[in-house]
Amino acid sequence: MDLRRERKVLRTATILLMIAVAAVLIIGLFRLGKSDEENLPNDSQGTTSVESDQDARNGSLPGFEATGEKNGEDVLSYRIHSKPYFKRGDMPGNLSIENPPENQYLMQVELELTDTGEVIYKTGYLKPGQYIASAKLDDTQLGDGVYPTTVWIYAIDMDTLDPVGLLEEHITLYIGEKPPENN
């Protein structure tokens, strides 16, 4: 009779252990299943994870190396091709946009036709140490030609995603017509 009782106690303990494990798993799955909104930090904490531009790659543009020193809060380094070339307006071109690793800020870039003010390309976020080698222009029907372009480079705080600085650069966009070799 003692053997039956021990088996019954053992069976009851096993069932209770299985119920406890199942409860822990259910609670864990419930916590993982919370919506992203509930898991985001509130505005006072800022954000630590930012989705980069879909064309962004980690590293530096070919031919460039990081200095190894971090920029101060009042400095934003950047790289962009001064004469990007597009075989056609609906094909990717060699924009060569880089947010070097020495920066403390995210970067966003807008290309605006200087003559009309039309924004023809806008990046998503580029983290320090990311670049876009080539990309297509945004929904534009630009024909072959040479286009003076104003580039707006935004420095974005990594925690608050607020713009903290703006730089202006002027480049020339070439569509269909290759840029001159020297200049």
Largest CA distance in the chain: 100
Measured distance CA(164)–CA(157) in Å, rounded: 6
Of 94, 92, 89, residue with least CA distance to 143: 89
CA atoms within 13 A on the CB side of 174: 13
Both tokens assigned to 58: 């980690």
> How high is the pLDDT of residue 19?
58
Measured distance CA(142)–CA(174) in Å, rounded: 10
- Give CATH for domain 57-175: 2.60.40.2550
> How high is the pLDDT of residue 3?
62
Rounded mean pLDDT, 165-171: 96
3-state secondary structure of 97: strand
Of 18-22, 24-28, 120-124, where does mean pLDDT reach its minimum? 24-28
**What's the residue count for the chain?**
183
The β-bridge relationship of strands 97-99 and 106-113 is: unpaired
pTM of model > 0.75: no
CB atoms within 10 A of CB 151: 21
Residue 148 — very low, low, confident or very high, per pLDDT cuts 50/70/90?
Answer: very high
**How far, in Å, are 15, 82, 83 from residue 183 at the CA level?**
80, 10, 10
Q: Is the pLDDT of residue 123 over 90?
A: yes
Measured distance CA(20)–CA(40) in Å, rounded: 30
Backbone angles phi, psi at 7, to 5 degrees: -65, -40
Measured distance CA(85)–CA(63) in Å, rounded: 18
Q: Is the pLDDT of residue 43 over 90?
A: no
Q: Is the pLDDT of residue 106 over 50?
A: yes
pLDDT digits (tens, 9 = 90+) for 71-90: 888 899 999 999 999 999 99
Q: Is the pLDDT of residue 6 over 60?
A: yes
